[in-house]
């Protein structure tokens, strides 16, 4: 099926395959393939030079059947309503797979934040929240950081919302600084989730994680934490690439030293612990585990035939094209899909929301223990479903997610 370049249509393609297998009720099918709410706002901001610029912002609440919408806000020149809608839909399925009581949402502003001063960035953020303030809230829609947004921007969002409602409302947003209601363990949560599902997949396949050879594409938040935690499980990280360069060492890389190097140099390019390597070579390495944790559409039909890994754990969102995924599955590669593999982030965002609402905060060990339980439960649900339906893990993850949302949709009935 041609997606016509639409990211939302690509999501529908994945949805349709699972919905057919489920024998989904046609009425529920219609409901689950339409966003509940799409908000477009104009954001006038007085720039530092005194001129007025008007930016465009979006917030999409795709589905709120299971609970408040949940999803990040991205600041990027390439933001479109189609992209934000597709990402909100994927958040719906990711939350359902992780078995957390959230629906799916996503937001974005068409802007290059690197061209704005700190004051302009704050003014833009506050104006955006003021425009959508009636649509968000701890019980309605809970934003989070995404591309080009961070804990400081979440702090401005929390403050702006709090000013409007007249009291401090920490639970309106997750990914906040620890000092103002953020959760311990949140920064490492996505990478920790990748480690947990990789370890569980290795167990299922009879692979010894202590001897596993691992290659990681991307050394940002997700890739670096995945590499670090997998090496602490005894795996040998033999290759890592990032936006600028890459390093290979068959005996294993010292990830602790690499983390220090990356902090200093903003890249691992030139790290002295091995020889240089690029992405095409990294994908073609003879390894047990490949973790694509960089950008979308990295594994395509062109390079999929070179992949020799037994497990592909998708740390990034959408790193494998549908055709490449089909090819890898038919070749017997065990692909752990993004909506399962990187669900550790949204799971710990849920923990942050719970802690904020209770006003009682957990120790980091407690956060990690609960994340471990949730990720193992999610992996088992998806694996059992894939065995029952004799299908790949991506389809199985959709089966689990759609089934959960559809069941509650039917139970709740139609509000006339």
Residue 4: pLDDT over 60: no
Handedness of CA 291, 215, 274, 187 (dihedral sign): positive
Confidence (pTM)? 0.93
How far, CA to CA in Å, does 52 sit from each of 43, 44, 124, 362?
Answer: 10, 6, 11, 45
Structure tokens belonging to residue 57 = 């912002």
pLDDT tens sequence across 251-292: 999 999 999 999 999 899 999 988 999 999 999 999 999 999
Q: Do 219 and 334 share a domain, yes or no?
A: yes
Question: What domain range is 89 assigned to?
Answer: 31-180
Q: Do 212 and 306 share a domain, yes or no?
A: yes
pLDDT tens sequence across 32-75: 999 999 999 999 999 999 999 999 999 999 999 999 999 999 99
Structure tokens belonging to residue 156 = 């401005």
Structure letter (DSSP) for residue 299: B
pLDDT tens sequence across 117-168: 999 999 999 999 999 999 999 999 999 998 889 999 999 999 999 999 999 9
Report the CATH number at residue 227: 3.40.50.720
Q: Do 193 and 263 share a domain, yes or no?
A: yes
Distance CA 348, CA 225 (A): 15
Total count of domains within the chain: 2
Counting every residue written for the chain, the total comes to 416
Residue numbers annotated as active site: 106
> Does 269 fall in a domain?
yes
pLDDT tens sequence across 277-330: 999 999 999 999 999 998 888 999 999 999 999 999 999 988 998 889 999 999
Residue 238 backbone phi and psi in degrees, to 5: -95, -20
Handedness of CA 255, 261, 263, 266 (dihedral sign): negative
Residue 5 is predicted with a pLDDT of 62
Closest alpha carbon to 182 in 208, 148, 157, 160: 157
Structure tokens belonging to residue 411 = 């139970």
User: CA angle, corner 183, sides to 356 and 216, nearest 5?
Assistant: 145
Last residue within a domain, chosen from 291, 314, 341: 341
Last residue within a domain, chosen from 180, 211, 246: 180
> Does 84 fall in a domain?
yes
Q: Do 299 and 206 share a domain, yes or no?
A: yes
> Does 321 fall in a domain?
yes
Q: How confident is the model at residue 3 (pLDDT cuts 50, 70, 90)?
A: very low
């Amino acid at each position: 099926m041609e997606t016509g370049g639409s990211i939302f249509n690509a999501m529908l393609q994945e949805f349709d395959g699972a919905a057919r297998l489920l024998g989904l009720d046609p009425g529920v099918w219609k409901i689950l393939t339409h966003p509940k709410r799409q908000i477009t706002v104009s954001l006038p901001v007085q720039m530092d030079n005194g001129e007025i610029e008007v930016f465009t912002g979006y917030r999409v609440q795709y589905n709120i059947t299971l609970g408040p919408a949940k999803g990040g806000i991205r600041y990027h020149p390439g933001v479109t309503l189609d992209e934000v809608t597709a990402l909100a839909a994927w958040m719906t399925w990711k939350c359902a797979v992780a078995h957390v009581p959230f629906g799916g949402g996503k937001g974005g502003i068409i802007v290059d934040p690197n061209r704005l001063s700190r004051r302009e960035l704050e003014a833009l953020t506050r104006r955006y929240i003021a425009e959508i303030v009636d649509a968000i809230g701890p019980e309605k829609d809970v934003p989070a950081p995404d591309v080009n947004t961070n804990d400081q921007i979440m702090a401005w969002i929390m403050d702006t919302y709090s000013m409007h409602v007249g009291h401090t409302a920490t639970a309106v947003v997750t990914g906040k600084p620890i000092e103002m209601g953020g959760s311990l363990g949140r920064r490492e949560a996505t990478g920790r989730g990748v480690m947990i599902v990789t370890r569980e997949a290795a167990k299922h396949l009879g692979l010894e994680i202590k001897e596993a050879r691992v290659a990681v594409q991307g050394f940002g938040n997700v890739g670096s934490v995945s590499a670090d935690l997998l090496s602490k499980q005894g795996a040998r990280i033999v290759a890592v690439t990032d936006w600028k360069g890459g390093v290979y060492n068959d005996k294993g890389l010292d990830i602790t030293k690499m983390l220090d190097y990356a902090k200093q140099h903003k890249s691992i390019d030139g790290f002295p612990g091995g020889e240089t390597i690029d992405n095409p070579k990294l994908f073609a390495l003879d390894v047990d585990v490949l973790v694509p944790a960089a950008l979308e559409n990295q594994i395509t039909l062109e390079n999929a035939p070179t992949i020799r890994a037994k497990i592909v754990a998708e740390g990034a969102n959408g790193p494998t094209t549908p055709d490449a995924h089909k090819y890898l599955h038919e070749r017997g590669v065990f692909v752990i899909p993004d909506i399962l593999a990187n669900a550790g982030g949204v799971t710990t965002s849920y923990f942050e929301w719970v802690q904020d609402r209770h006003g009682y905060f957990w120790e980091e060990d407690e956060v990690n223990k609960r994340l471990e339980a949730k990720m193992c439960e999610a992996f088992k649900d998806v694996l059992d479903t894939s065995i029952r339906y004799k299908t790949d893990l991506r389809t199985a993850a959709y089966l689990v997610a759609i089934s959960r949302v559809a069941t509650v949709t039917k139970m709740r009935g139609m509000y006339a």
